[in-house]
Amino acid sequence: MKLFDSHCHLQDSRIAADAGNVVERALNKGVAGLLCCGSETSDWEDVLRLARRFTPIIPSFGIHPWYIHEVPPNWQEILKKYLLQIPSAVGEIGLDQKFTANPMDLQEYFLIEQLRMAEELQRPVSIHCVKAWHILTPILSDFKNAGIGIQLHSYNGGSEMVDKLVNLGCYFSFSGSLTRLKNKKAHSALRRIPPERLLLETDAPDIPPEINGKIDFSVPTEPAGLYYVIRFAADLLNMDIDDLADRVWQNSITFLGQIGKKIQPDIHFSSSDE
Ligand SMILES: [Zn+2]
């Protein structure tokens, strides 16, 4: 079984010092690729260093809506420099109306600027959205023909948003929150997602999975724990776990586009993608 963790933060201080062992444990559990997302200019160098050190790590650079008030004035220049240094994605970027007081107009500005850069450089994006779907969807409509993979990380928009977001070309990534038995909203959303748009993630070191009715918040989540997410998803979809893993791996490669070559060097792109 080959798994791809579509969204995690190995540069986070809770797991960074142990990164070698974290990656090894992930590989032992079949996690052959990870998208490691930066959240603010200050962690991008660590993300870059990890990606250079470990083959399975694909780096991603972005400014999270929680940290937009902390960025240096030349953040766009810095972001572009990182994106051009290494095949990489844009993210974690997004909108959040629950967990931050940062003004929505400023959040929108940062999101749109980063989406524009992703379009210009033809890079996939990883998007965080909490209680802001009505603002996100019109923005994504403007990027519908941008030709970039759009991942909705730890999808929490419910089943009623799915069709609209499918039409906008989005991929839906489910995290350990899916494994919470009480999270019926995520379970019904998962069932509605077209198989070719499904991704899985851990958001390590956050969002611990529920295992045998227990959620352990005392230890950091690791990409090795992606197994719990796929096992739960396979049960819910009544699918063979290996078939689901193949499907999600293929989706991950399609979502990543050119930057996926690091983990799947033999992938073929049509001449229009070159
Ligand atoms: Zn995250």
Enter the pTM of the model: 0.95
| CA of 272 relative to ligand 1 center, distance in Å | 32
**Strands of the chain, DSSP E:** 3-8, 31-37, 57-61, 89-96, 125-130, 150-152, 170-174, 198-200, 210-211, 214-215
Q: Evaluate whether 132 touches 163 at the Cβ level (below 8 Å).
A: no
Sign of CA dihedral 229, 83, 90, 218: positive
pLDDT value at residue 22:
97
- Cβ contact 226:31 at 8 Å: yes
Residue 86: pLDDT above 60? yes
C-alpha 59/C-alpha 84 separation (Å) is 12
Three-state SS at 67: helix
CA of 8 to the centre of ligand 1 (A): 6
- The CA 222 to ligand 1 mean position distance, Å, reads 13
Strand partners, 33: 4
Place domain 3-273 in its CATH homologous superfamily: Metal-dependent hydrolases (3.20.20.140)
Helix (H) and strand (E) counts for the chain?
A: 9, 10
Which tens digits make up the pLDDT trace of 203-252?
999 999 999 999 999 999 999 999 999 999 999 999 999 999 999 999 99
Query: How far is the CA of 94 from the CAs of 31, 78, 148, 177, 257, in angstroms?
Result: 26, 19, 16, 19, 21
Tell how far the Cα of 267 is from the centroid of ligand 1, in angstroms: 27
Q: What is the DSSP letter of 39?
A: -
The mean pLDDT value for 52-60 works out to 97
Instruction: Identify the pLDDT of residue 264.
Output: 87
Q: How far is the CA of 39 from the centre of ligand 1 (A)?
A: 8
CA of 203 to the centre of ligand 1 (A): 5
The one-character DSSP state at 214 is E
Per-residue pLDDT at 165:
98
Q: Measured in angstroms, how far is the CA atom of residue 120 from the centroid of ligand 1? A: 24
CA distance 72 to 63: 11
Cα(93) to ligand 1 centroid in Å equals 9
pLDDT in tens, 105-163: 999 999 999 999 999 999 999 999 999 999 999 999 999 999 999 999 999 999 999 99
Q: Ligand 1 centre from 247 Cα, in Å?
A: 23
Burial of 151 by CB count in 10 Å (0-12 exposed, 13-18 middle, 19+ buried)?
buried
pLDDT exceeds cutoff 80 at 268: no
Quote the ligand 1 centre to 3 CA distance (angstroms). 18
**175 CA from centroid of ligand 1 (Å):** 10
At position 179, the amino acid (one-letter code) is T
pLDDT digits (tens, 9 = 90+) for 10-48: 999 999 999 999 999 999 999 999 999 999 999 999 999
Residue 1 has pLDDT above 60, yes or no: yes
At 87-97, the pLDDT tens digits run 999 999 999 99
Is the bond leading into 70 cis (omega within 30 degrees of zero)? no
Q: How far apart are CA 139 and CA 146, in angstroms?
A: 12
In eight-state DSSP terms, residue 5 is E
> Which amino acid, 209?
P
Rounded Cα distance between 259 and 264, Å, is 9
Residue 205 CA to ligand 1 centre (angstroms)? 9
